[in-house]
Amino acid sequence: MCLGMFMAILDIQVVATSLPTIQDALAISPDAMSWIQTAYLIAEITAIPLTGWLTRVLTLRWLFVLAIIVFTLTSVGCAFSNTFASLVTFRILQGFSGGTLIPAVFSGIFLLFPARAHPVAGTIAGIMAVLAPTVGPVVGGWITHHYSWPWLFLVNVIPGVIAAIATPFLLPRGRPRLNSLKNFDGFSLALMAMALASLEIGLKQAPQQGWFSAVCFGLFALCAVMTALFSIRTLKAVQPVVELATLRVRPFSVGCALSFCLGVGLFGAVYLMPVFLAYVRQHDALQIGSIMLVTGAAQLVAAPIAGALESRLDPRWLSAFGFSLFAIGLGLSAFESRTADFDEMFWPQVLRGFAAMFCLLPPTRMALETLPHKQVPDASGLFNMMRNLGGAVGIALIDTILYGRTSGHAEAIRQRLIAGDATAAQAIGLDRIPPDLSAARSMIEQAALATSANEAWALLASVALIGLLLIPLAKPPRADAAGG
């Protein structure tokens, strides 16, 4: 199950690394290019909270088998797409099936294992969940460098076939409740899909068009209305599509907030580092991925330590440690120089990678272990959705800073150079101030982008600190909670 989840999460980063290659191969316009990722993310974030209902209908066993089969087949479809429309269609199906794999794995931790095995199972799932976005850039860069773009999708086939063949024999049998399909609330699903889709598209457009532009304001307003209607209808339903009542349990609601904060920092860091290394340091995808492997190595080192401590200490204390360290790691990156490379990025990556496991495993336990088993599938969907939603918000905020602040920083540097400030010239890598500043345009823009990136790192660190402040709001878990 973890193998399938790993491929679903990895797919997002692998494809993101090589979008320009796909654009050239299929002659896609720059304006439409981002929809290859957006279509996947909208379908994924819609499927994640729906996983609880699908688990009740199909059982965990057959839901996972069906999802991994669809994910594998649509990966093949993406690889052999020769038009933009066919590629986006397959990406929607791929995103929906991949989205169900993530919460299914985290549900399995608490549904398939006794309480004493939760730390070990959670550690394995946690490693896969946080390692995939970290190694994604280097995998995508390596595939693009050595092979053609269809292999970005074909790499999913062998792991997908292995998972599809093995899981029917390994997962416990259950009786599907297909008669529940008669009472399926399609209107609620439509409301939820419209709310999440409008939010995702609004977050995608906001950095370029402005958060209060007519288009973005309309999308966010639509999201708010659809969310309100969905919540009212769901809370009154006898068999809701998504069980929102679990949010009334304080440890779970706090755990969801921590998952959101982790998503902002985790996915934000994975997005911001390649932007800096590509546009300021001029590195290619393979070089970027190699530098970012430090985070993955730190995550692997931290995983067994976090798993061992999780069964012995209060998850609130472990979460506090994780978010404190995570904030420090993000904050250190806010002071990086324009010439920062592997050495200067090493220790911030180590701190972030080590902290990530403590920001994921203890909050997961705190959120899900306090719930009865019948509520775990729905709760797992909401918990994992919040992490992905945090990532979308974090990337939108980063882009807002990069788009909105970089030109101002560039103009400030330019004015200092015009005034004859030799310190400013040295800061951007010039030995002397050139008579024509147009010759130094690229260096000015790179220095301005580096300054904006530091401001974005500071924002991510602030969100991690907010997560730290939320932890005391969670009540300690009951001693008998593991038994449901």
Is residue 349 domain-shared with residue 265, that is, in the same domain?
Answer: yes
Q: pLDDT averaged over the chain?
A: 89
Q: Rounded mean pLDDT of 192-210?
A: 92
Residue of 243, 262, 264, 369 whose CA lies nearest to 322: 262
pLDDT in the model for residue 270: 87
Q: Rounded mean pLDDT of 4-33?
A: 82
CATH number of 105's domain: 1.20.1250.20
pLDDT in the model for residue 429: 85
Spatial distance between the Cα atoms of 94 and 43, rounded to a whole number of angstroms: 8
Q: Rounded mean pLDDT of 206-229?
A: 94
Band of residue 65 on the pLDDT scale cut at 50, 70, 90: very high
pLDDT in the model for residue 476: 58
Range(s) of the domain holding residue 389: 242-484
Which range, 6-20, 171-185, 359-373, 445-459, is most confident? Answer: 445-459
Domain-embedded: residue 67: yes
Is residue 480 domain-shared with residue 334, that is, in the same domain?
Answer: yes
Residue range 67-91, pLDDT digits in tens: 999 999 999 999 999 999 999 999 9
Is residue 167 domain-shared with residue 87, that is, in the same domain?
Answer: yes
In the chain, what are the helix, strand and coil shares in percent, each to the nearest 5?
Answer: 85, 0, 15
Is residue 411 domain-shared with residue 277, that is, in the same domain?
Answer: yes
Is residue 161 domain-shared with residue 34, that is, in the same domain?
Answer: yes
Looking at the predicted structure, is the pLDDT value of residue 479 above 80?
no
Percent residues over pLDDT 90 in the chain: 57
Other Cβ atoms closer than 10 A to 165:
12
What's the burial of 364, exposed, middle or buried (CB within 10 Å: 0-12/13-18/19+)?
Answer: buried
Domain-embedded: residue 364: yes
Is residue 249 domain-shared with residue 377, that is, in the same domain?
Answer: yes
Domain-embedded: residue 221: no
Residue range 102-155, pLDDT digits in tens: 899 999 998 899 988 888 898 899 889 888 887 887 888 788 778 888 999 999
The residue among 148, 166, 182 that closes a domain is 182
Q: Is 420 left (phi over 0), alpha (psi -120 to 50) or beta?
A: left
By mean pLDDT, which of 79-93, 100-114, 244-258, 465-479 is the weakest? 465-479
pTM, entire model: 0.90
Domain-embedded: residue 157: yes
Domain-embedded: residue 294: yes
The residue among 167, 182, 197 that closes a domain is 182
Looking at the predicted structure, is the pLDDT value of residue 482 above 50?
no
Looking at the predicted structure, is the pLDDT value of residue 221 above 90?
yes
Is residue 253 domain-shared with residue 132, that is, in the same domain?
Answer: no
pLDDT in the model for residue 380: 92
Q: Rounded mean pLDDT of 171-183?
A: 82
Domain-embedded: residue 348: yes
Positive or negative: CA dihedral 19, 25, 30, 31: negative
Q: Rounded mean pLDDT of 443-453?
A: 94
Domain-embedded: residue 21: yes
Domain-embedded: residue 194: no
Is residue 7 domain-shared with residue 150, that is, in the same domain?
Answer: yes
DSSP per-residue string spanning 299-323? HHHHHHHHHHHHTTS-HHHHHHHHH
Is residue 19 domain-shared with residue 117, that is, in the same domain?
Answer: yes
The residue among 156, 182, 208 that closes a domain is 182
pLDDT in the model for residue 278: 86
Is residue 351 domain-shared with residue 477, that is, in the same domain?
Answer: yes
Residue range 262-273, pLDDT digits in tens: 999 999 998 899
Q: How many domains does the chain have?
A: 2
